[in-house]
A and B are shown apart, each in its own frame.
Chain A
Amino acid sequence: MFMKVRATPALPATTVTAHAPAVDVRGVTVSYRSTPVLWDVDAELPAGRLSAIVGPNGAGKSTLLRAMLGLVPMESGRVRIAGLPLEQARDLLAYVPQREAVDWNFPVTVREVVAMGRYRAAGWFRRLGRTDRTLAAEALERVGMTAFARRQIGELSGGQRQRVFVARALAQQAEVLLMDEPFAGIDARTQAGLLGLFGELCAEGRSVVVVHHDIAAVRASFDHALLLNVRALGCGDAREVLTEEAILRAYGAPPAEDAVAWAR
């Protein structure tokens, strides 16, 4: 497995975050043109836990993640990160976007991509200092991609690219990691490795929020789940939220039957 267990945990979570939920979303409404994408969504994702956002296509999962980052204009509602308003929480957040939105032919190496995680902390004009370079190198080591540091990013496989993106988020030293479909198109071995790493991060007191499409996998390995279909249909312990009945409500049909109906 590519994740090494660390003998010493990294930085302890800051004390402000100890009691507040990692992400607290209240009454969030977002529309594209006049169609609501998110409608009056309330959700509380606990600190130090592994949470999933689950829902059918077009449920607004990615939009909710981007709303948590302040990247989409909200019509109403508010977002708090570790008890702080977004403007004060920028440095607590790390975001792993979907891999489709990226130009993989861009002239940038794996090492440089991970170093991007340090740009905000290091400042935009100075050279990266020794600490920043060390943190980036450690992040790359932690996802087992050190041997690929000098590769152009597009020369990697899908799973390897995802690991580099996770390394970039690790390099940000964030308290709350928001990941959009990190498991899409990734083989079981890499999925298991990433899940193990997310578990370690939670053990360090960090919070990990993952948009996920595989309900069985969420039931099996996530602490907390938010079931979303434009509105929040349930938020709480993963196994309690993701009942067959709730999934039927969210998807209109169990996912498997849905696929069969489609094929007919």
Chain B
Amino acid sequence: MGPLIDAIPLPYTDAVVVLGAAVLGLTCGVLGAFAVLRGRSLVGDAVAHAALPGVCVAFLLGGTKDVPLLLVGAGVAGVLGAVVMLAIERNTRIPADSAIGLVLSAFFSLGVVLLTYIAGSGDADQAGLESYLFGQAAGLLESDVAVMAAISAVSLAAVALTVRAMRVVLFDPRFGGSIGLPVRALEITSTVMLVIAVVIGVRMVGAILMVAMLIAPTVTARQLTDRLVPLLALAGVVGAAVGVAGAVGSTAAGLPTGPVIVLLALGIVLAAVLLAPRRGVLWRAGALLHRRRLAACDAALLAWHRDGELPERSVRALARRGWAEPGPAGPRPTAAGRAAIQEVLERRALWSAWLEHGTRLDLDDPREPGPHDLAAVLGPHRVSELRELAATNGAPR
């Protein structure tokens, strides 16, 4: 860790925190993706809450606030929580989401009781244990970061080795079974990864908000890519970025680290949901508006052609495009406007012909023609073929 920490242009303690936050964010981003893609994010929430009593029990047994010891406790309790959830799901009629709720509240209540008991026990060493609730970046030791980095390296290597199998099993488990994949084992692996992500993150982000660190990077990345490996890489980068920014910011401002990291992460999620190319809400709204304008123009031109009269509300839109100009008896089409009318009529006729006779063209590959660019999609040769079919009403010549 030494050289890495020296390379960060910050005071030693800050550099340790930054490095720790980067490791945490990267790991939680990548490992959290498997839970989110399986639709099991809330299992992550329950596992994170289950980590709290684990930390308390580890402290009671070990008597020190040694971070690796407490993380072992968190891990054991997390696995226990996951196993209990699975057992409830498989052996009772309780539905999965209720099982998650039961386990989460049971473990977390136990954690809070234990935490209160420890605080009242007068043990001088216990101060600061409550930081596992909301997370704390300050006070992290270089040796703690080294442990986190080692766990992280092992689990990321496991991801790299199993990513192809995971892609199959998460997408289509039955096919996975048919090509000889150990589907159950891979599902268990992905749950173990979830526990590891929680263990690495719980000290800095806290049990209550840990789930956001698992979800937010993947949700952001999913807005930007349709492929698994880029998604994992992006989720890791997003996680590391918000982790570092949140850790530095919260330490400087004296705020709890978890909420600051999570607020930053959710800000990025919001931006991605609104702005992502093709998928973002605003992006789609813009595209819809654009299509509406085009459709309105087409409709106005057709109405003008049919009725000889331009609907009042469309005058400005057509004038702006240079298709209409004021005349003595109301607006009249310019030369460009007459061409535009002609173009709409031809486009409509071609589209009708496609809908009626398109299957007879025997295209050798499927294409997805739209009413607006059918001619471009089909190419001039197919277009003339289609026109001929329409002219003869589909009769063979």
If A103-B170, A148-B366 touch, whether A119 touches B164 (CB-CB below 8 Å) is yes
A137 at the interface (CB under 8 A from B): no
Q: How far is the CB of A106 from chain B (nearest CB, A)?
A: 4
Query: Is the beta-carbon distance between B226 and A152 smaller than 8 angstroms?
Result: yes
Query: Is the beta-carbon distance between B367 and A147 smaller than 8 angstroms?
Result: yes
The total of Cβ contacts below 8 Å across the A-B interface reads 87
Query: Is the beta-carbon distance between A71 and B174 smaller than 8 angstroms?
Result: yes
Number of interface residues of B (CB under 8 A): 30
- Classify the interface of chain B: helix, strand, loop or mixed: helix
B179 at the interface (CB under 8 A from A): yes
Query: Is the beta-carbon distance between B359 and A71 smaller than 8 angstroms?
Result: no
Q: Give the residue of A4, A97, A116 whose beta carbon is less than 8 angstroms from that of B174.
A: A97
Query: Is the beta-carbon distance between A124 and B164 smaller than 8 angstroms?
Result: yes
Report chain B residues within 8 Å CB of A98.
174
Query: Is the beta-carbon distance between A69 and B366 smaller than 8 angstroms?
Result: no
Q: Indicate with 1 or 0, residue by residue over B13-53, a CB within 8 angstroms of chain A CB atoms.
A: 00000000000000000000000010100000000000000
Report chain B residues within 8 Å CB of A108.
167, 171, 226-228
Q: Give the residue of A94, A107, A119, A120 whose beta carbon is less than 8 angstroms from that of B225.
A: A107
> How far does the alpha carbon of A132 sit from the alpha carbon of B275 in the complex, in Å?
38
List which B89-133 residues lie within 8 A (CB) of chain A. Answer: none
A261 at the interface (CB under 8 A from B): no
Query: Is the beta-carbon distance between B167 and A4 smaller than 8 angstroms?
Result: no
A16 at the interface (CB under 8 A from B): no
Report chain B residues within 8 Å CB of A69.
177-178
Query: Is the beta-carbon distance between A102 and B164 smaller than 8 angstroms?
Result: no
Q: Give the residue of B167, B168, B175 whose beta carbon is less than 8 angstroms from that of A95.
A: B175
Report chain A residues within 8 Å CB of B171.
102-103, 106, 108, 113, 116, 153
B180 at the interface (CB under 8 A from A): yes
Query: Is the beta-carbon distance between B161 and A120 smaller than 8 angstroms?
Result: no
A63 at the interface (CB under 8 A from B): no
Q: How far is the CB of B180 from chain A (nearest CB, A)?
A: 6
Query: Is the beta-carbon distance between B179 and A145 smaller than 8 angstroms?
Result: no
List which B136-174 residues lie within 8 A (CB) of chain A. Answer: 161-162, 164-165, 167-168, 170-174
A31 at the interface (CB under 8 A from B): no
B203 at the interface (CB under 8 A from A): no
Q: Indicate with 1 or 0, residue by residue over B220-255, a CB within 8 angstroms of chain A CB atoms.
A: 001001111001000000000000000000000000
B362 at the interface (CB under 8 A from A): yes
Report chain A residues within 8 Å CB of B359.
189
- Classify the interface of chain A: helix, strand, loop or mixed: mixed
Query: Is the beta-carbon distance between B226 and A120 smaller than 8 angstroms?
Result: no
B312 at the interface (CB under 8 A from A): no
Report chain B residues within 8 Å CB of A94.
178
B307 at the interface (CB under 8 A from A): no
Closest B residue, CB atoms, query A1:
B362
Closest A residue, CB atoms, query B179:
A120
Closest A residue, CB atoms, query B176:
A116
Report chain B residues within 8 Å CB of A4.
364
Q: Give the residue of A90, A144, A172 whose beta carbon is less than 8 angstroms from that of B366.
A: A144
> How far does the alpha carbon of A240 sit from the alpha carbon of B4 in the complex, in Å?
77
> How far does the alpha carbon of A69 sit from the alpha carbon of B178 in the complex, in Å?
6
Q: How far is the CB of A56 from chain B (nearest CB, A)?
A: 22
Closest A residue, CB atoms, query B173:
A101
> How far does the alpha carbon of A60 sit from the alpha carbon of B39 in the complex, in Å?
29
Query: Is the beta-carbon distance between A107 and B37 smaller than 8 angstroms?
Result: yes
B373 at the interface (CB under 8 A from A): no
Report chain A residues within 8 Å CB of B165.
119, 124
Report chain B residues within 8 Å CB of A97.
172, 174-175, 178
- The 9 A-B residue pairs whose C-beta atoms are closest, nearest first, are A95-B178, A152-B226, A97-B174, A106-B171, A120-B179, A102-B172, A71-B177, A69-B178, A107-B231
Q: A4-B364, A90-B179, A101-B173 are in contact. List 18 more A-B contacts (CB 8 A).
A: A2-B366, A69-B178, A71-B174, A94-B178, A97-B178, A101-B174, A102-B172, A103-B172, A108-B167, A109-B226, A112-B167, A112-B228, A116-B167, A116-B168, A119-B164, A119-B168, A125-B164, A168-B175
Please list 25 pairs of residues, one from A and one from B, whose beta carbons are closer than 8 Å in the complex, sorted by A's number.
A2-B364, A2-B365, A71-B174, A90-B180, A97-B174, A97-B175, A101-B172, A103-B37, A103-B39, A103-B171, A103-B172, A106-B228, A107-B226, A107-B228, A108-B226, A112-B167, A112-B227, A112-B228, A116-B167, A116-B168, A116-B179, A119-B164, A120-B179, A153-B171, A168-B175
Residues of chain B at the chain A interface (Cβ within 8 Å): 37, 39, 161-162, 164-165, 167-168, 170-175, 177-180, 222, 225-228, 231, 359, 362, 364-367
Residues of chain A at the chain B interface (Cβ within 8 Å): 1-2, 4, 66, 69, 71, 90, 93-95, 97-98, 101-103, 106-109, 112-113, 116, 119-120, 124-125, 144-148, 152-153, 160, 168, 172, 189
